[in-house]
Amino acid sequence: MLFFVAVAHGADYGSGSISGTVRCQTQSVANAIVYLNVTGSRWDTTNLWPVVFRQFQSEWTPRIQLGRSGALLVLQNDDPTLHVVTLDLLRGTNQPHRLLTEAMPYAGYQKAFQIEAFREPVLLKASTGNGERAVGYVALLPHSWGALTGADGRFTIGAVPAGAYKIYAWSEAHGTLIRDVKVSSGQATELSLDFPPAKVTATGRQRAD
Protein backbone atom coordinates (compact mmCIF):
# COMPACT_ATOMS: atom_id res chain seq x y z
CA MET A 1 0.00 0.00 0.00
CA LEU A 2 2.97 2.30 0.38
CA PHE A 3 4.48 2.63 -3.03
CA PHE A 4 1.89 4.05 -5.44
CA VAL A 5 1.50 7.56 -6.79
CA ALA A 6 -1.87 9.06 -7.80
CA VAL A 7 -2.69 11.94 -10.09
CA ALA A 8 -4.75 14.53 -8.20
CA HIS A 9 -5.90 18.13 -8.07
CA GLY A 10 -5.22 20.98 -5.66
CA ALA A 11 -7.39 21.55 -2.60
CA ASP A 12 -9.81 24.45 -2.10
CA TYR A 13 -8.55 27.01 0.42
CA GLY A 14 -10.48 29.59 2.44
CA SER A 15 -9.92 32.59 4.67
CA GLY A 16 -10.99 31.16 8.02
CA SER A 17 -8.79 29.73 10.73
CA ILE A 18 -9.02 27.52 13.81
CA SER A 19 -6.88 28.03 16.90
CA GLY A 20 -7.04 26.46 20.31
CA THR A 21 -5.45 24.48 23.10
CA VAL A 22 -5.35 20.74 23.66
CA ARG A 23 -5.50 19.71 27.32
CA CYS A 24 -6.08 16.78 29.61
CA GLN A 25 -7.66 18.15 32.78
CA THR A 26 -5.50 21.23 33.51
CA GLN A 27 -2.37 19.99 31.73
CA SER A 28 -1.46 21.14 28.22
CA VAL A 29 -0.86 18.30 25.76
CA ALA A 30 2.24 18.81 23.63
CA ASN A 31 2.88 17.00 20.33
CA ALA A 32 -0.80 16.30 19.75
CA ILE A 33 -1.80 16.07 16.09
CA VAL A 34 -4.87 18.19 15.29
CA TYR A 35 -6.54 17.96 11.89
CA LEU A 36 -9.78 18.27 9.96
CA ASN A 37 -11.27 15.18 8.39
CA VAL A 38 -12.71 16.88 5.33
CA THR A 39 -15.21 14.59 3.61
CA GLY A 40 -14.89 14.62 -0.15
CA SER A 41 -11.86 16.91 -0.22
CA ARG A 42 -9.57 16.64 -3.19
CA TRP A 43 -6.06 15.41 -2.59
CA ASP A 44 -3.70 18.40 -2.46
CA THR A 45 -0.42 18.01 -4.38
CA THR A 46 1.18 21.21 -3.06
CA ASN A 47 3.94 21.39 -0.41
CA LEU A 48 4.77 17.69 -0.49
CA TRP A 49 7.91 17.98 1.62
CA PRO A 50 9.72 14.70 2.44
CA VAL A 51 8.87 12.98 5.72
CA VAL A 52 12.14 12.01 7.43
CA PHE A 53 12.29 9.27 10.07
CA ARG A 54 15.76 9.93 11.55
CA GLN A 55 17.32 7.53 14.04
CA PHE A 56 19.77 9.32 16.37
CA GLN A 57 21.09 7.95 19.67
CA SER A 58 18.57 5.11 19.34
CA GLU A 59 15.62 7.52 19.25
CA TRP A 60 13.44 8.92 16.47
CA THR A 61 14.02 12.63 15.86
CA PRO A 62 11.41 14.04 15.88
CA ARG A 63 9.25 11.38 17.53
CA ILE A 64 5.92 12.77 16.34
CA GLN A 65 5.40 14.68 13.13
CA LEU A 66 2.86 15.71 10.53
CA GLY A 67 3.22 14.91 6.83
CA ARG A 68 1.36 14.80 3.57
CA SER A 69 0.03 11.84 1.64
CA GLY A 70 1.97 11.33 -1.57
CA ALA A 71 5.24 12.70 -0.16
CA LEU A 72 8.56 10.87 0.00
CA LEU A 73 9.29 8.89 3.17
CA VAL A 74 12.99 8.88 4.08
CA LEU A 75 14.53 6.45 6.57
CA GLN A 76 17.83 7.77 7.90
CA ASN A 77 20.34 6.27 10.34
CA ASP A 78 22.71 8.65 12.13
CA ASP A 79 23.95 6.01 14.59
CA PRO A 80 27.05 3.81 14.08
CA THR A 81 24.94 0.72 14.82
CA LEU A 82 22.41 -1.45 13.01
CA HIS A 83 18.74 -0.53 13.39
CA VAL A 84 16.00 -2.78 12.01
CA VAL A 85 12.93 -0.64 11.33
CA THR A 86 9.33 -1.76 10.95
CA LEU A 87 6.69 0.58 9.59
CA ASP A 88 3.01 -0.06 10.33
CA LEU A 89 -0.12 1.63 9.03
CA LEU A 90 -2.70 2.48 11.71
CA ARG A 91 -6.13 3.37 10.37
CA GLY A 92 -9.34 3.63 12.41
CA THR A 93 -10.15 0.53 14.42
CA ASN A 94 -8.39 -1.82 12.01
CA GLN A 95 -5.44 -3.92 13.07
CA PRO A 96 -1.98 -2.47 12.26
CA HIS A 97 -0.90 -3.28 8.71
CA ARG A 98 2.83 -3.93 8.19
CA LEU A 99 4.11 -1.82 5.30
CA LEU A 100 7.80 -2.63 5.40
CA THR A 101 10.76 -3.92 7.37
CA GLU A 102 14.09 -2.29 6.59
CA ALA A 103 17.61 -2.81 7.97
CA MET A 104 19.62 0.41 8.41
CA PRO A 105 23.11 -1.05 8.93
CA TYR A 106 25.39 2.00 9.39
CA ALA A 107 25.64 5.73 10.08
CA GLY A 108 24.77 7.72 6.99
CA TYR A 109 22.40 5.06 5.65
CA GLN A 110 19.42 6.61 3.92
CA LYS A 111 16.62 5.21 1.79
CA ALA A 112 13.56 6.91 0.31
CA PHE A 113 10.13 5.41 -0.39
CA GLN A 114 7.15 6.88 -2.19
CA ILE A 115 4.14 7.18 0.12
CA GLU A 116 0.75 6.29 -1.29
CA ALA A 117 -1.65 9.18 -1.83
CA PHE A 118 -4.09 8.20 0.91
CA ARG A 119 -7.49 9.87 0.49
CA GLU A 120 -8.08 10.00 4.25
CA PRO A 121 -5.85 10.79 7.25
CA VAL A 122 -3.73 7.83 8.38
CA LEU A 123 -1.08 7.26 11.04
CA LEU A 124 2.27 5.56 10.44
CA LYS A 125 4.18 4.02 13.33
CA ALA A 126 7.93 3.39 13.04
CA SER A 127 9.56 0.96 15.49
CA THR A 128 13.07 -0.40 15.88
CA GLY A 129 14.00 -4.02 16.61
CA ASN A 130 16.98 -5.75 18.20
CA GLY A 131 15.53 -5.32 21.67
CA GLU A 132 15.09 -1.55 21.25
CA ARG A 133 11.89 0.25 22.12
CA ALA A 134 12.14 3.43 20.04
CA VAL A 135 8.79 4.38 18.50
CA GLY A 136 7.94 7.31 16.22
CA TYR A 137 4.73 8.45 14.55
CA VAL A 138 3.76 10.51 11.53
CA ALA A 139 0.20 11.48 10.61
CA LEU A 140 -0.33 11.72 6.85
CA LEU A 141 -3.03 14.07 5.62
CA PRO A 142 -4.43 14.45 2.08
CA HIS A 143 -4.62 18.22 2.69
CA SER A 144 -2.85 20.92 4.70
CA TRP A 145 -5.52 21.47 7.37
CA GLY A 146 -3.57 20.08 10.30
CA ALA A 147 -1.13 21.17 13.00
CA LEU A 148 1.08 19.82 15.77
CA THR A 149 0.64 21.34 19.23
CA GLY A 150 3.52 23.12 20.89
CA ALA A 151 4.77 22.73 24.45
CA ASP A 152 1.86 24.92 25.58
CA GLY A 153 -0.70 22.73 23.80
CA ARG A 154 -1.55 25.49 21.31
CA PHE A 155 -2.26 24.98 17.61
CA THR A 156 -3.46 26.98 14.60
CA ILE A 157 -4.92 25.70 11.34
CA GLY A 158 -5.16 28.37 8.64
CA ALA A 159 -6.72 28.85 5.19
CA VAL A 160 -9.84 26.89 6.16
CA PRO A 161 -12.94 27.30 3.94
CA ALA A 162 -16.17 28.31 5.67
CA GLY A 163 -18.24 25.36 6.80
CA ALA A 164 -18.89 22.75 9.47
CA TYR A 165 -16.22 20.14 10.18
CA LYS A 166 -15.16 17.31 12.42
CA ILE A 167 -11.88 18.23 14.12
CA TYR A 168 -9.67 15.45 15.46
CA ALA A 169 -6.93 15.53 18.09
CA TRP A 170 -4.61 12.54 18.47
CA SER A 171 -2.14 12.06 21.32
CA GLU A 172 0.14 9.10 21.95
CA ALA A 173 -0.82 9.16 25.63
CA HIS A 174 -4.53 10.02 25.36
CA GLY A 175 -5.81 8.54 22.10
CA THR A 176 -8.22 10.31 19.76
CA LEU A 177 -10.70 13.10 20.48
CA ILE A 178 -13.38 14.25 17.99
CA ARG A 179 -15.34 17.50 18.15
CA ASP A 180 -17.57 19.57 15.85
CA VAL A 181 -16.40 23.00 14.73
CA LYS A 182 -17.87 25.73 12.51
CA VAL A 183 -15.68 28.11 10.54
CA SER A 184 -16.82 31.45 9.09
CA SER A 185 -15.15 33.14 6.15
CA GLY A 186 -12.45 35.58 7.25
CA GLN A 187 -12.99 34.73 10.92
CA ALA A 188 -10.74 33.12 13.53
CA THR A 189 -12.44 30.31 15.46
CA GLU A 190 -11.14 29.56 18.97
CA LEU A 191 -11.84 26.30 20.79
CA SER A 192 -10.54 24.02 23.51
CA LEU A 193 -9.99 20.31 22.95
CA ASP A 194 -10.07 18.52 26.30
CA PHE A 195 -9.18 14.85 26.62
CA PRO A 196 -11.08 13.08 29.39
CA PRO A 197 -8.98 11.91 32.35
CA ALA A 198 -7.85 8.30 32.31
CA LYS A 199 -9.55 5.89 34.70
CA VAL A 200 -8.04 2.86 36.38
CA THR A 201 -9.90 -0.39 35.63
CA ALA A 202 -10.15 -3.52 37.77
CA THR A 203 -7.03 -4.86 36.05
CA GLY A 204 -5.05 -1.79 37.05
CA ARG A 205 -4.86 -0.48 33.51
CA GLN A 206 -5.73 3.08 32.61
CA ARG A 207 -8.36 4.01 30.06
CA ALA A 208 -10.04 7.19 28.88
CA ASP A 209 -13.80 7.46 28.47
Whether 157 has a pLDDT exceeding 50, the answer reads yes
Look up the CATH architecture of domain 16-190.
Answer: Sandwich (2.60)
Q: Is the pLDDT of residue 1 over 50?
A: no
Reply yes or no on whether the pLDDT at 12 is more than 90.
no
pLDDT tens for 42-94 read 556 666 889 999 999 999 999 999 999 899 999 999 999 999 999 999 987 66
Q: Is the dihedral of CA 8, 9, 10, 11 positive or negative?
A: negative
**Residue 131: CB atoms within 10 Å:** 5
Q: What is the reported pLDDT for 2?
A: 36
Asked if 137 and 53 count as a contact pair (C-beta separation under 8 A), the reply is no
With a cut of 80, say whether residue 102 has pLDDT above it: yes
Per-residue pLDDT band for 198 (boundaries 50, 70, 90) equals confident
Rounded to whole angstroms, the Cα distance separating 19 from 156 reads: 4
Query: What is the pTM for the complete model shown?
Result: 0.84
Is pLDDT of 185 > 80?
yes
DSSP assignment letter at 133: -
pLDDT (average), residues 173-178: 94
Distances in whole angstroms, Cα of residue 128 to Cα of each of 73, 95, 112, 135:
16, 19, 17, 7
Give the residues across from 112 on adjacent strands: 74
> Which range among 5-9, 148-152, 157-161, 204-208 shows the weakest confidence by mean pLDDT?
5-9
Q: Pick from 76, 66, 73: which is nearest to 1 by CA?
A: 73
Q: Please tell me the distance from the alpha carbon of residue 80 to that of residue 108, in angstroms, as a whole number.
A: 8
Chain-centre distance of CA 103, in angstroms?
24
Tell me which residue of 85, 163, 79 sits closest to 124, measured CA to CA.
Answer: 85
Rounded to an integer, what distance in angstroms lies between the CA atom of residue 122 and that of residue 101? 19
Mean pLDDT of the chain: 85
Q: Residue 46: its pLDDT value, please?
A: 63
Domain boundaries, the chain: 16-190
| pLDDT classification of 31: cutoffs 50, 70, 90 | very high
